[in-house]
Amino acid sequence: MLEVILDTETTGLSTADNHRIVEIGCIELKNQIATNNIFHEYINPQRPVSEDAFKIHGYSEKFLSDKKTFPEIAEKFLNFIKDKKIIIHNARFDLSFLNYELKLAHLKKIDKENVIDTLEIARQKYPGSQNSLDALCKRLNVDNSKRDKHNALIDCELLKEIYINLVDQKEPKLDLNNTELLDGKNDSVSILTNNNLRQIIKPSSQELTNHKKYLKSCLPKNFYS
C-alpha cells in the first residue's frame, strides 16, 4: 500500500484572508516504510508573508519571489499523490489550503475521504493530552532537534515516525511473499525482501551449547524432577 506523508507551510492562518501556500513537502511510504520518493517545493505565494508566519518558518517574500507559483507545480504535485492515502497532522488546516490553491488553479480538489489525520488518531489514543507535533515527538521519543523552525520536509520526517508509532507499527513488516533466499552459508543466510538485502546470522554449535548451559544454570535445581 502506498501512502504519502504531507505537510505545508503558508503565509498565514486562513484562506478566508487569502493566505497562500509557500512550501509543500511529501514523503512516500510503501507498507509504512519510506521509499526514496519525495516531493518538495518552495512556492511563490504572490502576496506578502504575515509577520507571525515568518516567525514560524522563516521564509521571506524575497526568498520566495523567484520560486514557482502553485499552478506551475500543481501537475507534478497531483501526480505524486495520485492513488495514495495522504497522511497529514491537523489535516483540516493543510487540506483547506491545498484545496484553495487547487480551486484557484481550476483543478479538482483533494477528497478528504482519502486523507488520514494523525491529530485525530492521537486525540483518540491520548485524550486530554497535548497532541501537537512537538508534544508527540516528546511522548514517542522521536528526535526533533532539527526542528528549529517549521520546515515541510523536516516535519514530514517527524510525522513519518509519529505515524508509525501511532498505528503501532514500530518495526517494518517483512513481506514474505516477496522474499528470496540469496545465500546459504554455514553461519548466515541472506534474504532479499522488498529489494532490501538483509542478513540473518545463525549461531554456531558452540554458541548453542553455551546458551543451553546458561539456561540450565538459570533454572531451579528441581526443575526437571
CB 23 within 8 A of CB 152: yes
DSSP of the chain: -EEEEEEEEESSS-GGGT--EEEEEEEEEETTEEEEEEEEEE---SSPPPHHHHHHH---HHHHTTSPPHHHHHHHHHHHHTTSEEEETTHHHHHHHHHHHHHHTT-PPPPGGGEEEHHHHHHHHSTTS--SHHHHHHHTT---TT-SS--HHHHHHHHHHHHHHHTT--SPPP-GGGEEEEEE-SSEEEEEETTEEEEEEPPPHHHHHHHHHHHHHHS-TTTT-
Question: pLDDT tens digits for 69-127?
Answer: 999 999 999 999 999 999 999 999 999 999 999 999 999 999 999 999 999 999 999 99
pLDDT, residue 221, reads 55
pLDDT, residue 68, reads 98
What pTM was computed for the model? 0.73
Rounded to whole angstroms, the Cα distance separating 194 from 92 reads 34
CB 123 within 8 A of CB 131: yes
CB 92 within 8 A of CB 61: no
150 is catalytic: yes
pLDDT, residue 180, reads 47
Residue among 19, 57, 89, 150 flagged as catalytic: 150
Rounded to whole angstroms, the Cα distance separating 11 from 18 reads 9
pLDDT, residue 3, reads 97
19 by Cβ neighbours in 10 Å (0-12 / 13-18 / 19+) ranks as buried
Closest to 24 in 3D by CA, of 160, 151, 159? 151
CB 12 within 8 A of CB 53: yes
In order along the chain (225 residues), what is the average pLDDT of each group of 10 residues? 96 97 98 94 97 95 97 98 97 98 97 96 94 94 84 94 84 48 50 50 74 63 49
pLDDT, residue 51, reads 96
